[in-house]
Amino acid sequence: MTTANNPFHSDLSAAESRQDQVTPLQGSVLHQVNSVKTLRTRVKICGLTREEDVDAAVAAGADAVGFVLYEPSPRYVSAKRAAELARRLPPFVTPVFLFVNAHATKIIAACADLPLALVQFHGDESPEDCLQVGRPFIRAARIPLDENPNASGFRFDLVRYALDFKAAQAILLDTHVEGYGGSGKTFNWSLLPPNVNAHLVLSGGLTPANVTDGILQVRPRCKTLAVDVSSGVEISKGIKSADKINQFVAAVRAADEQLVNNHVRLSPT
């Protein structure tokens, strides 16, 4: 077939011609913008207890959904119930099982029927405890609620923590309150270290109203960023709102778009 009779070849030639007209500087800017676009902020909806909430999270575009297997939590579900809900998930949406100071044998048994489930350690587990389970995992870091940078007392060392748990797929940042998460309170994002050599998951008091700002503040500080929400998309504890989930995901996408736009403005023209 000749070039004149091949519309695909013709389109390709036109595209190549247009590409030849891009200056090296413009090409560099386009490459940087495309690189930013590929760093999409991942979304996890946590504390699910109902089928309709799992479906709503999937429909909104969540990348992962979380099930709390910690009995004192008002969002607790049994391992059997978590597995039932997780089986509703389509491909490429990850189930995450959250445990607090559970024995390795209990975790292994709970995850036995779900080979793709990710484990989230949300208690006082050591690096050795996490590795005993033999599964990919996320490690929660409990960030002080009102840490004063000028105080002489304890400071949470996130850089050291990320190094200690370097085997984790990501470090999840949650607010340190009495108990283990689920408080709906945010910590001071601006006090996080400027450069953390880890994938981070921002959590703790996120809502559709503040998640955009959280992403803009935290994403430049780490390898990649995901966000995790529970109480911020609820009607009551353990009962999610499909509308709030949709609003939350939309706010995340707005942050991604703003980051791309900011990058374009900062790039040379």
Domain annotation for the chain: domains and CATH numbers: 42-145+155-266 (3.20.20.70)
Give the pLDDT score at 17: 41
Contact predicate 237/261, CB 8 Å: no
Query: Per-block average pLDDT, block size 10, for the chain (269 residues)?
Result: 40 40 42 52 98 98 98 96 97 97 97 93 97 97 72 74 98 83 81 95 97 96 96 96 98 95 64
**Which of 244, 260, 237, 214 is CA-nearest to residue 62?**
244
pTM: 0.83
Which residues, 6+ apart, have CB-to-CB distance to 242 below 8 Å? 52, 53, 56, 59, 60
Active site amino acids: 46, 174
pLDDT value of residue 155: 77
- State the pLDDT at residue 185: 86
The radius of gyration of the chain's CA atoms, rounded to the nearest angstrom, is: 21
- Taken in order 170, 176, 180, 181, the sign of the CA dihedral is negative
Question: What pLDDT is recorded for position 145?
Answer: 77
Instruction: Annotate the chain with three-state secondary structure.
Output: CCCCCCHHHHHHHHHHHHHHCCCHHHHHHHHHHHHHHHCCCEEEECCCCCHHHHHHHHHHCCCEEEEECCCCCCCECCHHHHHHHHCCCCCCCEEEEEECCCCHHHHHHHCCCCCCCEEEECCCCCHHHHHHCCCCEEEEEEEECCCCCCCCCCCCCHHHHHHHCCCCCEEEEEEECCCCCCCCCCCCHHHCCCCECCCEEECCCCCCCCHHHHHHHHHHHECCEEEEECHHHEEECCEECHHHHHHHHHHHHHHHHHHHHHHHHHCCC
Q: End-to-end CA distance of the chain, in Å?
A: 41
